[in-house]
Structure 1
Amino acid sequence: MADDARRIETGPLSPLNTLNPYLQGAYEPVAKETTALNLEVIGEIPKDLYGCFYRNGPNPAQAPEGMHHWFDGDGMLHAVYFENGKAEYRNRYVRSADHVADLNGGCGAGGVMLPSTRANPASTRGDKVYKDTANTDVVLHNGSLMALWYISGHPVRVDARTLETVGIETFGGKLPRHVSAHSKVDPRTGEFVFFDYSLYEPWMTYGTVSADNELTHFERVELPGPRLPHDMGLTENYVILHDLPVVFTDAGLRNSQWNIHFADQPARFGVAPRRGRGDQIRWFETDSCYIYHVVNSWEDGDEVVMTACMMTPNGYPPNPAYGPYAAMVNVLALNAVPVEWRMNMRTGEVKKRQLDDRIGEFPVVNLDYSAQPTQWSYHVAMSKTELQRFKGLIKYDLTTGAARTYDYEPQMFGSEPAFAPRIDARAEDDGYVIAFVTDENTGRSEVQVIDAQNFEAGPVARVLLPARVPAGFHGTWARGDQMAKG
C-alpha cells in the first residue's frame, strides 16, 4: 500500500485513502480536460467508421479526504470521434449540479460511504443525501447525450460533439423525480424509456420520453419493500423491472444508510406494458440471484426474452489489507455469467438457460438492434482478482452460447466496449468493436478498433491518446448521422 505522502493527479491522498485501491493505479483520476485532433494511429482507421465512442466514469476533481466509494467520483466523459479515417479525442467533466456546487465551495452532498448532514435539493434521496455525479452511463437521445447516475439522479444533457455540458434535463419540467442509470433508447421510435426507484420506500416507476424530448408516459409499480435494482429490460411492447434479493438491512432502513445484504427470497422479473398501467405488471419468480447488467431483451411469440449477466459468488473473503475499504472491494468484485430467461406471457412459466461459465460483464450489443432479437453481444472478460480488471473481450453468439475471445497484453486493462456498425452495414455484426485500453505500467492509453467479424485477430487500428483514461463504467456509440440530428 502507498504511504501517507502518496499523491494522485488531483491532489494528495489522505492517510485513510492510501488504503483505497479505487483511487490509485488503474483507477487514479486525471487532472486535466484535453482536446486532441488528428491522433496518431498504429494500423489504419477504416474509412467506413463514422461516429463517436463515449465512455463515462468517476473522476473526483479533488482527492477525497474522507471515506470515498468508487461510485462517488465526479462524472467524466471520454470520447473519440471518427470520420474519414481520422480520429479526435476529448474528455470533459459532466457538470452536474453537485459538481458545480463543489467547484463553488462545496454543496454538502455526501457519498455512499460518507452520508451528508446538510440537505441539498440536487441530491436528496428521500431523507438521505448522496452526491449526484452523473458518472455511470451515457446514452444518445434526440441528437445529444444524457449522462446518468447509478442511484437514480438528474440526467445531464451534454453536447455530443464537444462534450460541453448543456444543463440538467427535466423533459420540459415534467420529470416527476429521477432517472436511473441503465435506462434505454428504442432505435425504432427514438424514445427514451427509463426507470426510477426509491431507496427507502416500496415502489418503482417507469416512463417514456418521446424522440422530441416530451414526457409521454409515467407509471408507478408497488413492491413488497424497498429495492435496489440496477438495470431494466426493454422490448417493443414491454419493460422488464427487477425485484432482486439485494436489499437494505433493517438497520439501514431505520437509519437511511447504505447498508445492504442478500435477502433469502427469490428473484422476480416484472413485465409491464410500455404504454399501459403500472398495475398491469406481471411478475415472474425465478431462482434467487442478482443482476447488474442486461444484455438485451425482445419478444418471441408468447415469450418475453431477457439475457443478462447473472452474479455468482466471487469466493473472495474481505481483504484486511484494504482496512475500512475491505467490504467495498469485496462487493465490487464482479463474478457474472451470461444467462437467458424466457417468460411466457400466456402460461406464466419461466425458463432459465446459462449460456457459458466464463466470467464476464459490461455487455453491449449493436444498438440498432436494441429491444429486438439479437444474435451477438460483446462482454469484457474479467480477471480473477479482487479488483475489477478487464483483461480482454468476449463475443457471444446468444443463440448457442458459443464464444470468441480477444485478450489484451498482460499489462493492459480495458473498459466497456461499444459496437459501431460500419457505414451501410449488411448484418448485425458488420462493424467494429471499440474500447479504451490502458497500459498500467506506463499509463499510456489508446483506443483499439476490432473488426467484429474477425474478432480474434485483434485490432485493425490502435489510436494513441495524449491522456490517460482511468478505468470507469459505461459507454455508448453514436453514429455520425445520429449526432447530426441534434
Structure 2
Amino acid sequence: MTESWLTGHLAPVPDEITATDLAVTGTLPAELTGRYLRNGPNPRPGEPSKHWFLGHGMLHGLRLRDGRAEWYRNRWIRTSGFTEDARFVRDDLTFDRTAVPANTHVIAHADKILTLVEVGFPYEVTPGLDTVGPCDFGGRLTSAMTAHPKQDPVTGELLFFGTGFLPPYLTYHRLSAAGELVESREIEVPGPTMMHDFAITGHHVVWLDLPVVFDLDLALTGGGMPYRWDDGYGARLGVMPRAGGPVRWFEVDPCYVFHVGNAYEDAAGRIVVDGARYRDADFAGLWADIGGAPDPARAAAGTESARLHRWTLDPATGKVSEEALDDRGVEFPTHNETRTGHGHRYLYTVADDAIVKYDLERPSSSAHDLGEGMAAGEAVFVPAESARAEDDGWLLTIVSDRAGQGSELRVLNAADLSLTATVHLPRRVPAGFHGSWIPDA
C-alpha cells in the first residue's frame, strides 16, 4: 500500500525543471514584480518516506514581472543530508544541524533568502533557487531555528526560537534588521515538545507549550516523526516581555497548534492570540494519516482538522479565556504581515475546498471556492503598493488537482476573494507547507 503522502496532489515529483513565458488567464497586477517561492517535502525517486514531514526540501518558484509570468522552476535544497547522506545524529550522539531537510518555509531577511526547518540551521539560496549553504549567522547560532520566525514590521528585527531534544529545550533569538544575531537566551520549559510556531506582540513573545512531546523510544525504533500526544504534559501559553523578564504562564484546555494567525495587545493590555487549534482526537487522526504513531481510540473521535480559535490572556488577573471562532476545519492561517504583532481584522485560511477569509470585527467569513477536486496551499498576502485598507492587496496560492493532474498559481483579490489571474504551471506542484512573496528591491 502506497503511503497517503506519496499519492495524488501530495506525491513528490521526480526531477527539476525550468519553464519560461508561462500562460496566464486574466490579468496579473503589474505591481506584482518579484518572486513567489514555496517550500515543501519531496523525497527523491525510490527513497523511503516514513512521514510526510521528512522528505528533502524542494523549492518551487515563480518569477512575476510587469504583468507576465517569466519563469517557473523547482530545485531541491542541497543540504548535507541531500548531497552527502549526512546523518542528523552522529555516532557520538551529537547533532549535525546542517544534515536537515530544510523543507518547511522560505523567507527573505537582510538580503538573504533562507529555507527553514525547525530541527536545524537554515540554508541560504539564491534568487534563482540554487543552494548557497547553511547559515549560522557567523557562528552565533548554536541551536536549531524555527520554521516560523516573526519579522517585526516596526523595527525590522526577526524574532525566532530553537527547540532541542536535550536541554536547553527552548532558546529565544533576536536577529537585527541587518541580519546580525544580537540576542539568545534560554527559556525554561519542562521537556522537549514539538513547538512549531509562536507569536509576538508589540511588547511580548507568546510561547506555545503544548502536549505533543518527543519520545526517545519512538526515535530508537526508526519510525517516522518521534513525537506523540502526552496527556500528562499539560497545555499552557506563556507571555514573555520582549525587553526581558520572566515568562508568565497561562494554563489552557489541552490542544495542539501548528500555526498561529497573529497576536496583539488589546486596549486593556490583554494578549489576544488567534490560531488553528486541534483537539486531541483531531490531532491523533491527522498525525496517523501523515505517518505519525497511531492512536486509533483517540482518533476515532476526531476529524483531522483544526479550527480557528482565540485565546485572551490577561496579565493583570492571570486569567485566560478561550473562544472558538468557527466550526469549519481550516489550516495555514495568514494575515497582512504589516500587522504582525498588532491588531488585525482579517485572517486568511485554507479549508478542504476553499480559501476562507475571516473578518474578526463583524464577525463573518467568506470563501473562494476552489472547484471540484481541487486543493489549495497556504494563501500568502501581498499588500498593494498604495494600500488604504488592511485587506487591500492580493492572495497568492498554488491550487492543484487532487488526482495529481496539474497545478496553477491563483492570484485573488484579498478584499472580495475574486479571481484576478491564474498562472498555468508547467507541471504538478506537490502539496507543501509555506511560502513567501519576495518583491524586487
Same fold (TM over 0.5): yes
- Structure 2 match to 1:107: 86
Equivalent pair of 1:318/1:326 in contact (CA under 8 Å): no
- Does the residue aligned with 1:71 lie in a helix, a strand or coil? helix
Change (3 A) 1:441 1:244: closer
- Structure 2 match to 1:41: 24
Q: Could you tell me which runs of 5 or more consecutive residues in structure 2 were left unpaired when the two chains were aligned.
A: none
- Structure 2 match to 1:269: 237
- Does the residue aligned with 1:368 lie in a helix, a strand or coil? helix
1:78 to 50, 57, 60: 60
- d(CA) in 1 for partners of 2:266, 2:310: 13
- d(CA) in 1 for partners of 2:367, 2:215: 39
Equivalent pair of 2:210/2:235 in contact (CA under 8 Å): yes
Cα distance per residue 1:266-307 (max 9 Å; x no partner): 421111122315xx1111112111111000111223112211
- Structure 2 match to 1:374: 344
- d(CA) in 2 for partners of 1:355, 1:269: 18
Pairwise CA distance, 1:318: 7.0
Equivalent pair of 2:88/2:95 in contact (CA under 8 Å): no
Equivalent pair of 2:229/2:280 in contact (CA under 8 Å): no
Change (3 A) 1:264 1:168: same
- d(CA) in 1 for partners of 2:151, 2:360: 21
- Structure 2 match to 1:363: 333
- d(CA) in 2 for partners of 1:174, 1:313: 37
- d(CA) in 1 for partners of 2:166, 2:66: 51
Instruction: Give the aligned residue type for 2:430.
Output: P
- Structure 2 match to 1:122: 96
- d(CA) in 2 for partners of 1:219, 1:135: 26
- Structure 1 match to 2:399: 437
- Structure 2 match to 1:139: 107
- Structure 2 match to 1:307: 274
- Structure 2 match to 1:446: 408
- d(CA) in 2 for partners of 1:216, 1:53: 29
Equivalent pair of 1:19/1:322 in contact (CA under 8 Å): no
Change (3 A) 1:314 1:40: farther
Cα distance per residue 1:297-321 (max 9 Å; x no partner): 11223112211111135569879x9
Pairwise CA distance, 1:371: 1.5
2:190 to 224, 228, 234: 224
TM-score relative to the length of structure 2? 0.90
Instruction: Give the aligned residue type for 1:358.
Output: R
- d(CA) in 2 for partners of 1:251, 1:470: 31
- Does the residue aligned with 1:476 lie in a helix, a strand or coil? strand
Change (3 A) 1:120 1:42: farther
Residue 428 of structure 2 is aligned to residue 471 of structure 1: no
Equivalent pair of 1:272/1:282 in contact (CA under 8 Å): yes
Change (3 A) 1:289 1:156: same
2:386 to 402, 424, 436: 424
Alignment RMSD (CA, Å): 3.0
- d(CA) in 2 for partners of 1:368, 1:436: 23
Cα distance per residue 1:123-167 (max 9 Å; x no partner): 49xxxxxx51110112221133211113x21111122x3122222
Cα distance per residue 1:373-400 (max 9 Å; x no partner): 1111110003xxxxxxxx2210011234
Q: Could you tell me which runs of 5 or more consecutive residues in structure 1 were left unpaired when the two chains were aligned.
A: 1-17, 111-115, 125-130, 383-390
Which runs of structure 2 are paired with 1:54-453 in the superposition (5 Å)?
54-65=37-48, 68-87=50-69, 88-101=71-84, 106-109=85-88, 121-123=95-97, 132-150=100-118, 152-159=119-126, 161-201=127-167, 203-249=169-215, 251-252=217-218, 258-264=226-232, 266-277=234-245, 280-301=246-267, 302-312=269-279, 327=294, 334-382=304-352, 391-441=353-403, 443-453=405-415
Instruction: Give the aligned residue type for 2:60.
Output: H
- d(CA) in 2 for partners of 1:162, 1:249: 39
- d(CA) in 2 for partners of 1:34, 1:170: 30
Instruction: Give the aligned residue type for 2:398.
Output: F
Instruction: Give the aligned residue type for 2:278.
Output: M
- d(CA) in 2 for partners of 1:333, 1:454: 29
Percent identity (aligned): 36
Pairwise CA distance, 1:70: 1.0
Cα distance per residue 1:376-425 (max 9 Å; x no partner): 1110003xxxxxxxx22100112344110112121222111101112222
Equivalent pair of 2:9/2:403 in contact (CA under 8 Å): no
Aligned length: 433
- Does the residue aligned with 1:339 lie in a helix, a strand or coil? strand
Cα distance per residue 1:44-94 (max 9 Å; x no partner): 1122323322211001123224x5211111101112222211113222212
- d(CA) in 1 for partners of 2:309, 2:404: 37
- Does the residue aligned with 2:142 lie in a helix, a strand or coil? coil
- d(CA) in 1 for partners of 2:416, 2:30: 17
- d(CA) in 1 for partners of 2:83, 2:77: 9
- Does the residue aligned with 1:454 lie in a helix, a strand or coil? coil
The more displaced of 77-86 and 462-471 is 77-86
Equivalent pair of 2:52/2:291 in contact (CA under 8 Å): no
- Does the residue aligned with 2:416 lie in a helix, a strand or coil? helix
Pairwise CA distance, 1:249: 5.0
The more displaced of 19-28 and 459-468 is 19-28
- d(CA) in 1 for partners of 2:137, 2:346: 33
Change (3 A) 1:146 1:401: farther
Equivalent pair of 2:87/2:96 in contact (CA under 8 Å): no
